[in-house]
Chain A
Amino acid sequence: MPEQPYEPERAIAGTGMGGAMDLAASEATTLEPAPAGPLGTGPVGKPRSLWSDAWRDLRRNPVFLLCALVIVFLVFVSLWPSAIASGSPLTCDLARSQDGPGPGAPFGYDGQGCNVYTRTVYGARTSVTVGVLATLGVSVLGSVLGGLAGYFGGVWDAILSRITDIFFAIPVVLGGLVLLSVVTSNTVWPVIGFMVLLGWPQISRIARGSVITAKQHDYVQAARALGASDTRILLRHIAPNAVAPVIVVATIALGTYIALEATLSYLGVGLKPPSVSWGIDISAASPYIRNAPHALLWPSGALAVTVLAFIMLGDAVRDALDPKLR
């Protein structure tokens, strides 16, 4: 057997790369431009970030624009209902009970003879306030607690997980009946507080899980090897990669919170008349669905459009935050 040392260098060169000397040449041919997307086609402009790219994307998304329009309109109506509806939602005339559309009342009248149009417009405030604030509260509390538990782990994680288990065991409607029946205040705040109290464990669990998934990626290790602080790792690396499931669940939850407010109002423990809410109107109109379907249809339709707008907005935001989908 002739003596010749094993030469991996030539073995590597033998793959057709030609060794270090030809590196520049081989790079020139092998470094094809990456799949050209809408990005990178122009010259090097100013630096972009995830959020500014997401915003560029959203502005061109018709679904987003439509949903945003609906939501802006809802917010406007919640703030200034008198701008589009004259009269008070509490001015009712029993003589007009279950009447159809008439002048000044395009949606007709409900069982109590109240103007459905006015009540639907004024009811937006309750639903939007409850839905948005409860979702915000639940998302912030849930993702902060769940995210920290998932990131730091250990004892706090164990304690938090057991607490969420306890909250999951509380039936929402029963909990609402017990907790809200002792509240005398007829405002949205006890309802929102109750929803945050019972809703955060759901988001917390999702946030915890997605943070645990995100923190195992090598880019988190890389950031740590660079000396990044926990705050930086959480905000720059983990949060953007863990937020998508939270956004999706939160937007779906927003719809359920609006519906839950209606349920609680129906049961008499949420908002009570003389407060105005779609939930109160839906429950009041449901016995007369055959005689006066319009009294049920309009508040239910408003509820459905609102819930749909928030869910589709959440979907669009999630897509925009994922560069892989661009």
Chain B
Amino acid sequence: MAPSSEPILQVSGLVKHYPLTRGVLFRKQIGAVRAVDGVDFTLGRGETLGVVGESGCGKSTVAKLLCNLERPTAGAIRFKGEDITRLSGRALKAVRRNIQMVFQDPYTSLNPRMTVGDIVGEPYDIHPEAAPKGDRRRRVQELLDVVGLNPEYVNRYPHQFSGGQRQRIGIARGLALRPEVIVADEPVSALDVSVQAQVINLLDRLQSEFDLSYVFIAHDLSIVRHISDRVGVMYLGRIMETGRDAEIYDHPTHPYTQALLSAVPVPDPEARDRRERIILAGDVPSPTNIPSGCRFRTRCWKARERCVVEVPALAVPEAFRGGTGSAVHDSACHFAEELRVVPAQGAAEGPAQGVAEENGSGPG
């Protein structure tokens, strides 16, 4: 899991607005759902970038944009320097070999009317150049073996497997074309906790085995920390704070990150009593009507006049500029300051499940 500095994926100014229209015959645009509203990040080769945020903050839309399942309204996604957002036809198909996706719900991500062999082998039908025809069946069985399934299961149907096994099938399909980037959209949130650990460990193992780079989307902070090298915290379509995992978890400087981390359940009752729980007021504003200035200001206890008029840039905050240490990382807040919210003692013994804000089952 050694991240190198060489970027494999560069995302800049990524925007996805879904227009809201009114009228049957003469469609008039009356607004837009600003699902993703200016996201920038870089993914290094062999690195894992965790993206966290509550439901509806645009995480899944980012995943779809990365896999070219949706066209962005603006911005660029560069894979090895080439902008893939405007590609079509053969060039797009070629890029798709390199960026694959693992889906959230293993119960809908596998076609119930195809056998496991057909599902995992389908990438070879679509990209015949990836494997010679006679070799495909052996490769499919190898893939099943790699993800920890019995290769003899090729003739079974998805409904004959448990949730964790199904997610392994989904991962095998994602691996078939030997992609360089895997976008995992909440890959374990539909699984129960013991199985979550197995699947996370599998992803971890595959990363070193196949030299993969991950964009790992989740709302579970503990799991994101476990697997990520770097973490980005999203709120209402934008990344609010990003940095190495230790920087985000132990030295958060953005009030939203601090509030999220303070909501992680603490299994130790004593530590729980000592910690400071930040309760945010109000609900997430509608993505059709995003507040001016800092989008978090409506729920922030630090909000002042400046937050209404000036959009904070995602950069190292003024207070920490020129300094050293873990608090020096990008944070989109005018009044960033370090605040330790994760209690230290005893927290390590808890269950893996650390639900951020709510355990939303819908796509985030």
Contact = CB atoms under 8 A, between A and B. Distances in A.
A225 B250 contact: no
B239 to A, nearest CB: 21
Interface string B189-204: 0000111111011101
Nearest to B151: A44
**Band of interface residues on A:** 35 or more
Interface in A13-42: 13-17, 19-20, 23-24, 26-27, 30-35, 37, 39-40
Contacts, number: 201
A227 B97 contact: yes
Contacts of A9: 225-226
B100 A30 contact: no
A290 interface: no
Contacts of B350: 11, 14
B115 A48 contact: yes
A326 B126 CA distance: 29
A322 B155 CA distance: 15
B160 A40 contact: yes
A22 to B, nearest CB: 9
Contacts of B194: 15-17, 30
A5 to B, nearest CB: 5
Given A224-B69, A227-B96, A27 B198 contact: yes
B156 interface: yes
B113 A321 contact: yes
B108 A47 contact: no
Interface residues of B, number: 82
B109 interface: yes
B117 A47 contact: yes
A57 to B, nearest CB: 12
Interface in A144-172: none
A324 B112 contact: yes
A30 B152 contact: no
A324 B165 CA distance: 17
Contacts of A23: 148, 198, 201-202, 205
Given A14-B350, A16-B194, A50-B114, A40 B155 contact: yes
Contact of B155 (A4, A11, A45): A45
Nearest to A321: B113
Contact of B348 (A6, A24, A50, A237): A6
Contact of A226 (B100, B205, B222, B354): B100
Nearest to B68: A225
B352 A11 contact: yes
B105 interface: yes
A6 B342 contact: yes
Given A14-B351, A222-B173, A6 B109 contact: no
A84 interface: no
Contacts of A20: 201, 204-205
A31 B177 contact: no
Contact of A218 (B109, B159, B200): B109
Nearest to B351: A15
B78 interface: no
Contacts of B349: 10-11, 14
B111 A219 contact: yes
Contact of B154 (A16, A44, A228): A44
CB-CB nearest 7 A-B residue pairs: A8-B222, A218-B109, A7-B348, A34-B160, A17-B197, A227-B93, A227-B96
Interface of B: 64, 67-69, 92-93, 96-97, 99-101, 103-105, 108-115, 117-118, 122-123, 125-127, 137, 141, 148-157, 159-162, 164-165, 170, 173, 177, 193-198, 200-202, 204-205, 221-223, 225-226, 246, 249-250, 264, 274, 342-345, 347-352, 354
28 contacts: A6-B250, A6-B343, A6-B348, A12-B200, A16-B194, A24-B148, A27-B198, A30-B194, A33-B150, A34-B165, A37-B160, A39-B157, A47-B115, A48-B115, A49-B118, A218-B105, A219-B108, A219-B109, A222-B101, A225-B68, A225-B96, A225-B99, A226-B127, A228-B126, A236-B122, A240-B113, A321-B113, A322-B113
